[in-house]
Chain A
Amino acid sequence: MESQDDGELVRRARRGDEFAFGVLVERYQRAAYAVAYSVTGRHEDAEDAAQESFLVALRRLEECRSPERFAGWLMTIVRNRARNLVRRESLRETDQVPAAASSSTPTPDRVTESRELRGLLREALAGLPEMQREIVLLHDLEGWKHREIAERLGLPPGTVRSHLHFARKALREVLSASPQDADRRSGK
Chain B
Amino acid sequence: MSHGRKVQDSATDELGRDMAVAELLGPLSPEVDDPSYWMRFKTRVMRGASGELARRRLMADVTVGDVLVSWARAVVPTAVLAAALAGLMLMRAHVAPAATPARVEELLVAGMESETIPATLSRSETETQIAFASERF
Contacts and interface: CB of A to CB of B under 8 A. Distances in A.
Given A16-B55, A18-B53, A104-B33, A51 B45 contact: yes
Nearest to A165: B14
B135 interface: no
Prevailing SS type, chain B contact patch: helix
Nearest to A101: B33
Q: Which of B3, B32, B45, B52 has the most CB of A within 10 A?
A: B45
29 contacts: A14-B56, A14-B60, A16-B57, A18-B53, A22-B42, A25-B42, A26-B38, A29-B45, A33-B30, A33-B41, A51-B44, A55-B48, A58-B52, A104-B35, A114-B32, A118-B27, A136-B21, A139-B17, A140-B18, A140-B21, A140-B25, A141-B26, A141-B29, A161-B14, A169-B8, A176-B5, A181-B3, A182-B3, A185-B7
A173 B14 CA distance: 17
Interface residues of B, number: 45
Contacts of A21: 46, 49, 53
Contacts of B30: 33, 43, 47
A106 B33 CA distance: 7
Contacts of A103: 33-34, 36
A117 B8 contact: no
Interface centre among A47, A172, A177 (most CB of B within 10 A): A172
State which size class the interface on A falls in: 35 or more
B8 A172 contact: yes
A136 B24 CA distance: 11
B104 interface: no
Interface string B45-79: 11011101111111110000000000000000000
A86 interface: no
Contacts of B44: 51
Contacts of B109: none
Given A102-B34, A165-B14, A54 B49 contact: yes
B117 interface: no
A136 B46 contact: no
A168 B18 contact: yes
A102 B29 CA distance: 12
B53 A117 contact: no
Contacts of B89: none
